[in-house]
Structure formats: C-alpha cells, structure tokens
C-alpha cells in the first residue's frame, strides 16, 4: 500500500536557498541569483518567504513584500514535476494568510500575459486584472498583467480562503484573512 506524500508549507531558511534556486532556474528564463534569496532572508525586513516540502524535499516556494498596506508577490515557483498537484494553491494560500497576519489590505502581483495557467490559479483566489505593464519582462519584452485581490478582510476573500482551506485540507484559521 502506497503512502501519500506529505506536503508542508514552512518559512524559507537560508539552508533552503540551493534547492529554491534549482527550482527558480527551472521556472524562469531570467532567474534570480541565489544571493538575491540570501539577501531577502537575511536583510529585508519587508520580506516573507515560504517553501513547500514534500517528504522533506523543497518542491516550491513563494514570497511577498509588505509595502505600506499591500502585500506584493515577489516570486512564486513550483518544480515542474510537482505542478497541478495543489502545491501552488497551498503556497498561495499561505502567502495570503501571511499577508493578512501582517496587516496587508490587498495582495498584488505581476504575471505574464501569456501565462494563462498562473492567471487561472490567481483568479481562483480572488485576484483580478487591474492593470498592464507593457514590455515588463526583460528576457522577451512580454507584457505583464497586474492582478490584485479585493480587500483581504472582505467577505469575498474570507469565503475564497475558507473554500481553499477546505479543498486543500488546510486547518481552519477562523476569522484570519
């Protein structure tokens, strides 16, 4: 009888950077250098990063910056072998919960106009397209959509996050946004 792998979301640590950087290079044509993650973890008080582990191995990561009252997704990636298995949903839910815990009113991000899969994930968590950045990506000049959530404390976002917790089997956080 096969045992289902255990997925855990945890704060990113310096020791996770080599594994995160492998995934970063697999996900992005212009990846962050490893030292950027190290700098984020050791010196950026606005930064909050998580990793997704399956049976102890890092399979995804994400991060936000708190800028005034807005949580901005800085990076988000899932190892190609672990996509479409709920890892990205769990990471995004964790980032939204962190955003609420640290007092963010909204969450924003940029996503490639051509990345419909990611856009669908974000729309499922209440994000809506609120703008467009022309030639945003330096590697190929592709535009980015700016996507933003409704107020994290709104009834709509509470419902979205509660439904995600049920779907993902995550513990109920009560009234937390």
How far apart are the two ends of the chain, measured CA to CA in Å?
Answer: 38
Which residue in the list 122, 128, 137, 142 is annotated as catalytic? 122
Is residue 96 a contact partner of residue 152, using CB atoms and an 8 Å limit?
Answer: yes
Which residue in the list 110, 128, 136, 159 is annotated as catalytic? 110
Identify the three-state secondary structure at position 33.
Answer: coil
Catalytic site includes residue 110: yes
d(CA 9, CA 143): 31
Catalytic site includes residue 122: yes
- Describe the crossing of helices 116-124 and 87-101 by its angle, rounded to 10 degrees: 50
Spatial CB neighbours of 106, under 8 Å, sequence gap ≥ 6: 69, 70, 71, 148, 149, 150, 151, 152
Which residues have a catalytic role annotated? 110, 122
């Amino acid at each position: 009888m096969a045992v289902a792998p255990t997925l855990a979301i945890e704060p990113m640590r310096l020791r996770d950077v080599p594994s995160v950087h492998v995934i970063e290079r697999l996900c992005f044509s212009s990846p962050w250098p490893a030292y950027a993650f190290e700098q984020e973890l050791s010196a950026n008080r606005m930064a909050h990063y998580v990793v997704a582990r399956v049976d102890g191995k890092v399979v995804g990561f994400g991060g936000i910056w708190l800028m005034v009252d807005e949580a901005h997704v800085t990076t988000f990636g899932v190892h190609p072998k672990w996509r479409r298995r709920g890892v990205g949903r769990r990471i995004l839910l964790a980032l939204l919960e962190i955003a609420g815990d640290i007092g963010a009113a909204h969450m924003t991000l940029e996503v490639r106009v051509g990345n419909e899969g990611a856009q669908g994930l974000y729309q499922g968590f209440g994000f809506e397209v609120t703008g467009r950045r022309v030639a945003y990506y330096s590697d190929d000049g592709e535009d980015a959509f700016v996507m933003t959530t409704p107020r994290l404390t709104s009834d709509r976002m509470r419902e979205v996050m509660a439904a995600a917790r049920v779907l993902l089997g995550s513990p109920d956080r009560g009234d937390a946004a």
